[in-house]
Structure 1
Amino acid sequence: MNSIFKLIPINDDSPCLMLHPNQRNKLDETMVNTTIHFGFQKTEVICKQLDTIKENEIGLSNSVIEYLKLPLEADYEIAIQNGEIIIGPFIGVLITNSQKKLKKSVNKLKQIKKLKQIKKQYRFVRGVILALSEEGVDEKNSRVHGYYYNPSSKKWEEGTFPFPSVMVKRTSLSNDKKNYLKKLYGPRFFHLAGINKWKMYQRLRSNPDLLPHLPKTFLYKKPEDILKYLKELGTIYVKPLSGSQGIGIEKFIAEHDHYCVKFRQKKKNTTIRFSSDTELLDYVNSKFKSKNFIIQQQIDIEIEKNHPLDFRIALIKDQSGQWEDVGMVGRKGKKGSGISNLSSGGRMHNAQSLILTLFNLSESEALSIRQKMSEISIKAVKEIDKYDSIFKSGVDIAIDRDLRIWIIELNNRSPYLKFSKAGLKSTNKIARKSRMLYAKYLAGFPKEKKDSEQSALLW
């Protein structure tokens, strides 16, 4: 039963659910007495059929509507699980920490971006979507107080409800509240989990299939570590554990009679040379006083002279709960820079044209490489997903001169903000819907993906 329904109150003394005969016939014949779920709230009902009700209506006793706190204005779907009925989807979105801020956001003439996104996406999700604050989560009474989106009035309506089926975190929370919700919801409480580069490397290397695609990586403990691996590997990168956008990354090179370090500073490439081990160690002592860094083997990705080249693959979890590759872009670093990040002067490019021209491949060879990159990226994100419930990721991945594929890192926070600049507007559109469609899946409303729906890989 995947039609859209409106709820109709029925004056009946018994707790009942009434459907048009054509809809009632779709239920299992044994489902005469069953249970209805709305979020964490449930009640037993008698299933009946009623000729006068429309096929797109669900009749419910007033007592059931009141007990479940069901808004009549919403557009609902029905799912059957283990012989019981789920009405929904019912999704809570935590968008701020205080009720005062929430009320102000909802009542603003120009609502905040998060609320505007929910409005646009409602037609794909339906059910009840609640905008919540941390203060609005009442642990003691298992209730939430917030604002649900009314598709009829296109406004946010205030109300108190049972706990939703799924809780989406889109704001910072106190540790106590976050831990409470994680324990209560498990994987149905989801957010953009941050993970530092060392933990990420350790988790990825636990998969033997991924080991050949990981640059050698070491945890920085003391200045002598940089000197050791520099002499051993010739060229290394030192990266902050939790850095992003290429900030704080430095490239160390061992030449035949000196060392040098290269980095970006004030939008310019900077190079410092050292004539001895002592000079290098003095610099490292002054620059890397904390131990929050990793040391990483250099990969030869300067396919075009003095321009580092890598790629970003956008991955999402779809409404069937599966990881899906929705696009890839190329990133070419600024001349003389050791990194390709856009914030460090890099430029976004069409991935297909880069692979075809710079690697001198045929279209079929390029497509084969693209397929392998996708498979490796999905394996990588599945490995991270074992520990943290994530729903989207941007995998930074590279190809060296020997066509060997390397995983650089995974970005779960801002994986595909600028894909449209490389002509992949469709990726941005898919990505914007992915959060709520995956929440719909977790709420008990999956979409069965047919073979015919498998789309070709996007460049």
Structure 2
Amino acid sequence: MYRILPIESDKNTIILPYHSELAAELSGGQELLLEYGQKTRSVHVNRSIELEENHLLVPADVLKHLKIPLTSAYCLRVEQNKLIIGPYIGILADLSGELLAELVTTLSSFLTYYHRIGGTIVAFALDGVNTKNQEIQGYIYEPETKAWIPGTYTYPASVLSITEASLTDKWDDFIKVMLHFKQGLGSAVFNYPIFSKWDMYKLLKPRYENHLPETKVYVAPQTIKEMIEKHQTIYIKPIHGRLGRYIFQAEKSSSGYTIRYKMKRKPKVRLYRTEKSFLLFFQKLIDPGDYLIQATIPLMHHNQSLIDFRVMMAKSHQGEWQTSGIFARYGASGSIVSNITAGGRAELADKTLKKVWKLNNKQISEVKQTITELCQNVLAVIEAEGYHCGNIGVDIGIDQDLSLFIIEINNQNPDPYIAKRAKRSPEFYKHRYLNMMYAKKLAGF
């Protein structure tokens, strides 16, 4: 990597070490474009035998125009008539600058292996994007002090989104900003577009129906009636829901209809003797088109906790999917969901498959391989439809016979924190590192 040093000069001339590999690709006096992020400046090239290796001298006014921080080490790449400085990676981390200020230090988990990433990392919020001036208010990471420095910066060369906008009044603003970035960066923006549970089901059903619980969009009470008559137990969940919130489980039995859900973090149970009163509960509560009705997957239970699995997947520097961890999620005792945020717990999948399914090491390896292949195959289908993922959390259900079911795929903010909850920090940091190395690739390095 190169250190960039300023020089006072009224000429737009950059100076490279004479014997560097980079200088071998460029000729003295050559004119080219110096590129950083989405900004360029025309410069001439000179070479110096006295300049230390891996140093680049750039006129101060050129640095000011491109707004290149001098606290980082950079990769340099020649492409046609351009010398590109980078990587310059943006993390869209929250909806407001006020919220970002509170969490920005936690983003250092993306940069545990900064020495392998290099370049500029800018964290910013949705309301910090000035589309008119093409500038960002945010924080850049200073590797020597490991501090985040506030300021106004130019647009990056790639953008990773980890903000959750779908359940907020900022959704339209989020779409506008992401479309704006895509116009300038093309495929160097991920995770975007975002798909809903229903989008996922429609995309996968033609090829993977056997791995999906039957699902319908709620249009009227009749939808619930048909599904509960057919399956006896169903889930009613928001199409854009997250973290196990606003989910209902309904069951039909000889005594009537039982509905289980949470209200203000407390479990609620309602019993309706008649179909009419049961359907009226949902008719008053949910709107057509906002909820899915889903057949219940026959998940395994252990000590009254239902179990499913989270598969953490991320693209590597080579652009290939890697599984950074597979974890079992145990719902809170008696809970209808397995989410950690709803009181659940996590452990390494190997341990659960051995303890609950009674598998040996070879069988565990085979099950995990089958899970990984299924996830890679369904992601190929989704990405073929124009969804640029890169960072994914796949929720998998496994029944007693080891049949696999795709519960949900999260591409909005599949936080790998579950690895820490399972006391597996290496997998957490590996996932973050993969995210950044893929962003580095998209930034041109």
| Coarse TM-score class (shorter-chain normalised) | 0.7 to 0.9
Q: Where does residue 451 of structure 1 map in the other structure?
A: none
CA contact (8 A) 1:20 1:54 kept: no
Deviations, residues 23-45 of structure 1 (Å, cap 9, x unaligned): 24653789955443222233455
Q: Where does residue 395 of structure 2 map in the other structure?
A: 396
Q: Which amino acid counterpart does residue 9 of structure 1 have in structure 2?
A: I
SS of residue matched to 2:186 = helix
Structure 1 range deviating more: 8-17 or 374-383: 8-17
Q: 1:165 aligns with which of 157, 163, 167?
A: 157
Alpha-carbon distance change, 114 to 192 in structure 1, aligned in 2, over 3 angstroms: farther
Q: Which amino acid counterpart does residue 200 of structure 2 have in structure 1?
A: M
- Displacement after TM superposition at 1:405 (Å): 0.7
CA contact (8 A) 1:9 1:61 kept: yes
CA contact (8 A) 1:93 1:170 kept: yes
CA contact (8 A) 2:94 2:162 kept: yes
1:441 aligns with 2:441: yes
Q: 2:77 aligns with which of 47, 65, 79?
A: 79
Q: Where does residue 355 of structure 2 map in the other structure?
A: 357
Written as runs of structure 1 = structure 2, the 5 A alignment for 1:128-277 is: 128-130=120-122, 137=129, 139-140=131-132, 142=134, 148-151=140-143, 162-169=154-161, 174=173, 176-191=176-191, 194-206=194-206, 208=207, 210-256=208-254, 258-265=256-263, 269-277=267-275
CA contact (8 A) 1:31 1:83 kept: no
The separation in 2 between residues aligned to 1:159 and 1:358, in whole angstroms, is: 52
- Displacement after TM superposition at 1:186 (Å): 2.8
The separation in 2 between residues aligned to 1:60 and 1:39, in whole angstroms, is: 16
SS of residue matched to 1:76 = strand
CA contact (8 A) 1:17 1:45 kept: no
Alpha-carbon distance change, 16 to 222 in structure 1, aligned in 2, over 3 angstroms: same
- Displacement after TM superposition at 1:13 (Å): 4.7
Q: Which amino acid counterpart does residue 237 of structure 2 have in structure 1?
A: K
Structure 1 range deviating more: 259-268 or 212-221: 259-268
Deviations, residues 260-308 of structure 1 (Å, cap 9, x unaligned): 3333456565443344333433333344355421111122113547442
CA contact (8 A) 1:38 1:88 kept: yes
SS of residue matched to 1:353 = helix
The separation in 2 between residues aligned to 1:31 and 1:217, in whole angstroms, is: 65
The separation in 2 between residues aligned to 1:53 and 1:404, in whole angstroms, is: 63
CA contact (8 A) 1:15 1:63 kept: no
SS of residue matched to 1:403 = coil
The separation in 2 between residues aligned to 1:259 and 1:134, in whole angstroms, is: 44
SS of residue matched to 2:200 = helix
The separation in 2 between residues aligned to 1:286 and 1:61, in whole angstroms, is: 67
The separation in 2 between residues aligned to 1:190 and 1:220, in whole angstroms, is: 30
Q: Where does residue 117 of structure 2 map in the other structure?
A: 125
Structure 1 range deviating more: 214-223 or 182-191: 182-191
Question: TM-score, structure 2 length as denominator?
Answer: 0.82
Deviations, residues 121-175 of structure 1 (Å, cap 9, x unaligned): 6434322334556676554555556664454676666776653323455667735
- Displacement after TM superposition at 1:349 (Å): 2.6
CA contact (8 A) 2:327 2:418 kept: no
Q: Which amino acid counterpart does residue 157 of structure 2 have in structure 1?
A: S
Q: Which amino acid counterpart does residue 395 of structure 1 have in structure 2?
A: V
The separation in 1 between residues aligned to 2:233 and 2:138, in whole angstroms, is: 54
Q: Where does residue 329 of structure 2 map in the other structure?
A: 331
Q: Which amino acid counterpart does residue 201 of structure 1 have in structure 2?
A: Y
1:18 aligns with 2:35: no
The separation in 2 between residues aligned to 1:135 and 1:301, in whole angstroms, is: 42
The separation in 2 between residues aligned to 1:371 and 1:441, in whole angstroms, is: 27
Deviations, residues 361-397 of structure 1 (Å, cap 9, x unaligned): 2211111110111121233344444444333222110
Alpha-carbon distance change, 325 to 26 in structure 1, aligned in 2, over 3 angstroms: farther
Give unpaired runs (5+ residues) of structure 1: 446-459
Structure 1 range deviating more: 339-348 or 261-270: 261-270
CA contact (8 A) 1:9 1:65 kept: no
The separation in 2 between residues aligned to 1:144 and 1:335, in whole angstroms, is: 45
CA contact (8 A) 1:303 1:401 kept: no
Give unpaired runs (5+ residues) of structure 2: none
- Displacement after TM superposition at 1:334 (Å): 3.7
Alpha-carbon distance change, 149 to 327 in structure 1, aligned in 2, over 3 angstroms: closer
The separation in 2 between residues aligned to 1:421 and 1:156, in whole angstroms, is: 26
- Displacement after TM superposition at 1:222 (Å): 0.9
CA contact (8 A) 1:310 1:399 kept: yes
Q: Which amino acid counterpart does residue 113 of structure 1 have in structure 2?
A: T
- Displacement after TM superposition at 1:339 (Å): 2.7
Q: Where does residue 370 of structure 1 map in the other structure?
A: 368
Alpha-carbon distance change, 157 to 285 in structure 1, aligned in 2, over 3 angstroms: closer
Q: Where does residue 309 of structure 1 map in the other structure?
A: 307
CA contact (8 A) 1:121 1:436 kept: no
> What percent identity do the matched residue pairs reach?
26
- Displacement after TM superposition at 1:407 (Å): 0.5
CA contact (8 A) 2:345 2:421 kept: no
The root-mean-square deviation of aligned C-alpha atoms, in Å, is 3.7
The separation in 1 between residues aligned to 2:298 and 2:389, in whole angstroms, is: 31
Alpha-carbon distance change, 84 to 30 in structure 1, aligned in 2, over 3 angstroms: farther
- Displacement after TM superposition at 1:231 (Å): 1.4
SS of residue matched to 1:359 = coil
CA contact (8 A) 1:313 1:395 kept: yes
Written as runs of structure 1 = structure 2, the 5 A alignment for 1:45-124 is: 45-60=43-58, 64-65=62-63, 67-82=65-80, 84-93=82-91, 105=101, 112-113=104-105, 122-124=114-116
The separation in 2 between residues aligned to 1:334 and 1:153, in whole angstroms, is: 41
The separation in 1 between residues aligned to 2:110 and 2:64, in whole angstroms, is: 26
1:40 aligns with 2:32: no
Higher strand share: 2
Alpha-carbon distance change, 247 to 169 in structure 1, aligned in 2, over 3 angstroms: closer
The separation in 1 between residues aligned to 2:247 and 2:23, in whole angstroms, is: 63
Alpha-carbon distance change, 8 to 56 in structure 1, aligned in 2, over 3 angstroms: farther
